[in-house]
Structure formats: structure tokens, C-alpha cells
Structure 1
Amino acid sequence: MQLSLYQLDAFTDKVFGGNPAAVVPLTSWLSDETMQAIAAENNLAETAFYVPTEAGFHIRWFTPTVEVDLCGHATLASAYVLFSLENYAHDEINFDSRSGVLNVRKEGDWLVLNFPADSIHKQLLSPPALLEALGEISPVEILRGKTDFMAVLESEEQVRTLQPDIIVLSTLPARGVIITAPGDSVDFVSRFFAPQSGIAEDPVTGSAHTTLTPYWADKLGKTEMEALQVSARGGVLKTKLIGDRVEIAGQVKLYLRGTIEIG
């Protein structure tokens, strides 16, 4: 069996930036074991698989170790593949997923994700493992969303220089941990650590911005914001809060295209 494979860098306008994702278009689903094996072989933060449906496409995402409920950068990459490489003739795509219907539309060189906003609440008792992992840095506040913890720090510099204890972070009962602060040149910055999902640090995390956007919209009193994920590769995002939905815009660059040989 031969399958097409694309690798792309999402949330960036240049190759070797943003967050790399693999995309494998399918006509019908492979077994879960085979898709997980492909994702492990790719060894990227996420590999996305999609199949056509009557209403659009069904999409699934796998890290090297687990299937996840939501992934922004691999959805952005999948939309780029359809729009730019697989001759999809429309300007909008609906992806059915574990997190409901996700819409992606083209706006010039940018692609805009429309995701459900996360519901977040402040932690009255800070998780000891999170405080231990952050070391000498004391968060302004700690919140919990549907899948992740979020620690708010005082400054962009603290976020950039943070070196958390990944082993301790991996003991937290969550998909991962968002670290954020007000930005120096943008509205807010962030980093995302997910050792629980097989990813020590994710370069750019679209899904984390479903948590970040409503939080910073409330704090800053604005619904449209610019954000940076300040990992080593870095990523640029534009976000907008629309009721219980979040729009997350980014760019994508193609890195490679190839063929998978199975059996």
C-alpha cells in the first residue's frame, strides 16, 4: 500500500519555523494501530489523517504515543494540503472531529481556524507538582481548562527563560501545561509543555489558544489579539474571540512531500 505524506511547518511564514506536522490524506480509515505506528515513525508532535465525508472531511490527530482530541497546527497543515496541494476547490473546509466540527477558511496567505473556546477556571489550590516544576518562579495565577493547566507569569522574559522540570510536569493529570504572560510587542506570549502526550515542548500549539484567547480577552478587554509562542522555533498567531468560539489564524509552509510504503 502506498500513501501520500506531506510535512509542513504551521504558524510560520518560513520553513524551519513554527510547528512541524505530518499530513496523510486517506480515502478510508486505516486501523488505529497502523495510524499510531505511522505517527510514531514520523516522530513529530502530531500526524493528521483525514478522510472525505459528505459534509467535508473527518480528521484525526496522533502524537508519537497517543491519539488526541484536538490539534490546531496539524489542522492548519491539513487545510493547506487540501487548498494548495490536493486541488480542493472551495475557500472553506469543515473537519468533523472528536472536538466537533472545525472550520478552516482562506484569507489571502493566512488560514483561519474556528475552534470551540475552552472553559477555564481558577485553581483555588495550586497543584504541588506544577509549583515544583516551575522552581523559583511563582505564577500570578493558575487555571485549569478542559485538558490543560495554565500558569500565568509576570513577564515575557520569564516565559522565554523558563526551564521547567519536565519529569515532574509529566506527573500532572492533564494533557499538558500552558505557560503565558503579557507580551512585550504582542498582546500575549506562551509556551506549551506536554510530556504526558509524548511531547516535552510543543513549538506552536493552536489548541492551547482556545484557552489563552478567552483568558487574555477578559484580562485585556479586547477580542482580537496578536500572539507569539516563544519556543525555540517560534510561531505567530492572530486570535479572535467570538462568543463561545475562537478564531486562530496562521500561515503554513510546505517542507516535503513523499510516499509511505506499507506492507
Structure 2
Amino acid sequence: MITKSLNIPPKEIFKSRDYVLVYESEEDIKNIKIERSVFDLINLDPGGVVVTATGTDSDFVSRYFTPQSSILEDPVTGSAYCSLIPFWSSRLGKNNLFSRLLSERGGQLYCENKNERVIVAGTAKTYSAGHIWIE
């Protein structure tokens, strides 16, 4: 059902918490379009669909989509990197990776595979600031 909602078929499909769809090129990832009426028939709770490929000026690129969500495409999804970092680290034979997210807002992440955990770093914009007291 997932592939029927995409305009470009993936060359490989893997399953972790999310579905990881691997494509031939960065250009494919940029050009992915989701047929929302078909995509929203899928229930992946929890999880979503990450599309990924090697990058032209980065180690890899990705985009992240969640069916049945008010926001179809998450601009930068840190949790997806728990799958992407070990995957690309193994494929590329390196533990330190640079990734670009190709959502409309975009993002750049510096990643490290530490085997039992992953490190993800980048810049963020403050959405809200405040204090919370727990009694």
C-alpha cells in the first residue's frame, strides 16, 4: 500500500520502527510526491515512512512522512535517525556522517554511529521558552 501512494518506486524497502525506503538518487528524494488519499489509508502507529538516498553534497538525504497525521511531512525527524544512522554507517563504511533533510524547511544533521546509540547534532530554532514547576 505504501508504494502505491508514491510517484517513484523505491529500489529497497526495510522495516524498523519506521519503514525505510531507499532510492537511487538525491533527485528521486527531492521529487517524491505522496498521494495522500492512498497514504492516509495506512496505519503505521507508531511510525512513519522515511525515504532516503545517498547525497550529492552529503553522505545521505532523507524526507519523513506520517500517514493519518495533521502534518504529512515532518521537516526534521530526529527519531528516524535511530534507523538511518546505523543503516548508512554500515553502507558507507563510516561512523561519522553528514545528512541533509530535503523537506521544504530543510535541515542539516551531523551524525555519529556509536553502535548501541546514535548521536545527532545540528542547529534548531526556538519555538517556545518557559518554565514548568512540578509539585
TM-score, with length taken from structure 2: 0.87
Residue number in structure 2 paired with 1:141? 12
Count of aligned positions:
129
C-alpha distance in structure 2 between counterparts of 1:249 and 1:167, whole Å: 34
The reply on whether 1:187 has 2:65 as its aligned counterpart is no
Residue type of the partner of 1:209? Y
Distance in 1 of aligned mates of 2:16 and 2:69: 16
For residues 100-152 of structure 1, the C-alpha deviation after alignment (integer angstroms, 9 at most, x for no partner) is xxxxxxxxxxxxxxxxxxxxxxxxxxxxx1111113x2211001112x11111
Residues 154-199 of structure 1: per-residue CA shift (max 9 Å, x gap): 0001101111112222223312110101000000000001133432
Q: Which residue is 2:21 aligned to?
A: 151
Deviation (angstroms), 1:258: 7.4
More strand as a share of residues: 1
Q: Does the Cα contact within 8 Å between 1:156 and 1:183 map onto a contact in 2?
A: yes
Distance in 2 between residues matched to 1:159 and 1:223, nearest whole Å: 23
Contact 1:176–1:196 (CA<8 Å) still a contact in 2? no
Confirm whether residue 224 of structure 1 aligns to residue 96 of structure 2: yes
| 1:81 equivalent in structure 2 | none
Provide Cα deviations, 1:211-243, integer angstroms capped at 9, x if missing partner: 111111111111110001101100110111111
Is the alpha carbon distance of 1:255 and 1:198 closer, same or farther for their aligned partners in structure 2, counting shifts above 3 Å?
Answer: closer
1:168 is aligned to: 38
The ranges of structure 1 where at least 4 consecutive aligned residues each deviate by more than 3 angstroms after the TM superposition are 255-259
Query: Any gaps of 5 or more consecutive residues in structure 2?
Result: none
Q: TM-score, normalised by structure 1?
A: 0.46
Is the 2:110–2:121 contact (alpha carbons within 8 Å) kept by the matching residues of 1? Answer: yes
**8 Å CA contact retained: 2:40, 2:68:** yes
Q: Which has the higher contact order (CA 8 A, sep 6+)?
A: 1
Q: How does 1:1-263 map to 2 (within 5 A)?
A: 129-135=1-7, 137-146=8-17, 148-174=18-44, 175-254=47-126, 257=129
1:242 is aligned with what amino acid? K
Distance change (3 Å), C-alpha of 1:220 and 1:160: same
Deviations 1:18-60 (A, max 9, x none): xxxxxxxxxxxxxxxxxxxxxxxxxxxxxxxxxxxxxxxxxxx
**Structure 1: gaps of 5 or more residues:** 1-128
CA–CA separation in structure 1 for the residues paired with 2:15 and 2:41:
15
Q: Is the 8 A contact 2:43 2:67 kept in 1?
A: no
The 8 Å contact of residues 86 and 115 in structure 2, kept in 1 or not, is answered as no
Taking every aligned residue pair, what percent have the same amino acid on both sides? Answer: 41
